[in-house]
Structures are given as structure tokens and as C-alpha cells.
Amino acid sequence: MDEQLRTIAGYGDVDALYTKLADDPYILDRIDYIPIVDTPLHVAAIAGRTQFAMEVANLKPSLACKLNHMGLSPLHLALQHKCIKMVRGLIRINSQLIRVKAKGMITPLHYLAQNEDADLLAEFLSACPSSIEDTTVRCETAVHVAIRNGSIRCFKVLVGWLRRVDKEDVLNWKDEDGNTALHTAVSSGQTEASLDCFP
């Protein structure tokens, strides 16, 4: 990425962005052409520049799906850096960003399932219900991920969601080792989860 644009993104200078676009209207298109790249959205996500990120995502929505050299999308980075306003803004622009698979095929939903943010997890499920069906490279659902990481609150949100939308069959999906979420709960000693959520 152009160093001047990187600096503009780091400062979150929207006016400078439009000045840059006036000088070079194809700059975002050239970035979009590169398959794996740090975009202005990645830089803004790390720096917590929400308004700038929203401008770029509006101008060039496809940049929000790009993975950088670390295998992370702008939404993954915003979650890692706890930029919740940016997270909510990006999923308002495109709720399918919740399904973008980063390194290890970890989606933002999987990320939240392992980090005990049950409230935002519930927002993600409401915004993109089909995201519950995404699996990691290890064939783990968000339910497996929550259990494996001891995120009982997230686990309960996920199971409650599955029951409400009549998708309890996801609880029977097996990971690469042939374990369902119940097997994972029992083998990891998560008796609270196995007793409360599995009849």
C-alpha cells in the first residue's frame, strides 16, 4: 500500500483520503486487485479509526473481506483491538463479514466464542444467523470453540440460539477428531455445560 495512504489511514484523516482519491481515483482498486494485502481498513482497524474505516468500507466494500499477510480481515483486527464501534459499523455495512474466514478458517463468530463476549456474540448471531454453520479448519463449530476455551457464557448463548432457531443438529456436528460439542464438554471437564445444555 502507498505509504502516504497508510499514514492517512493511521491518523484516520477522511479529508486527506478524499484528496488522495482526487489525485488517484484508482488507488483503492489497485489495492483490491492484490489477493493478500494490508488495506487502509486493516490500518484503521489497528489504530481504532472507526469513521475512516466506515468511509473506506463504503467506497470499496470488497476491501472489508481482504485478509492481510497475517491471515486476518479488518473485522478480525477490530475485534482483537476491541474497537467495538468499528465492529458494529462494519457489520451494519455488510453482515456477511461475520462469515469471513481468517487463518485457520476462524470467523469473527469463532473469535467471539473463544473470548467470552457473549453479548456481541448474540448480536452477530442476530445479524448473520447462517454464521452458526461455519466451521474452522479443524471442523469445529463455534460451539466446539466455546467449550474448548471454557467460555461457558458464550456456549450457553450459542446453545440457546440453536434451540430458538431449531438448528440443534449443529450440536451433533463432529470436529476433525470425531467429537461433538458434548464429547468436547465432557472430555474437557465442562460439567456445567454438559449438564445445563445437553439434556
- pLDDT single digits (tens) 111-151: 999 987 899 999 999 999 999 999 999 999 999 999 988 88
pLDDT interval class at 26 (50, 70, 90): very high
Answer yes or no: do 113 and 185 share one domain: yes
Q: CA-based angle 106:119:152, to the nearest 5?
A: 70
pLDDT digits (tens, 9 = 90+) for 151-192: 889 999 999 999 999 999 999 999 999 999 888 777 766 655
Cell 452477530 belongs to 124
- Residue 74 within a domain: yes
Tell if the pTM clears 0.85, that is, is over it.
yes
Cell 465432557 belongs to 186
CA distance 157 to 143: 9
CA distance 80 to 58: 22
- Residue 99 within a domain: no
- Calculate mean pLDDT across residues 66-95: 96
CB 109 within 8 A of CB 135: no
Answer yes or no: do 82 and 165 share one domain: no
- Residue 48 within a domain: yes
- Residue 115 within a domain: yes
Answer yes or no: do 108 and 197 share one domain: yes
CA distance 154 to 144: 11
Answer yes or no: do 33 and 124 share one domain: no
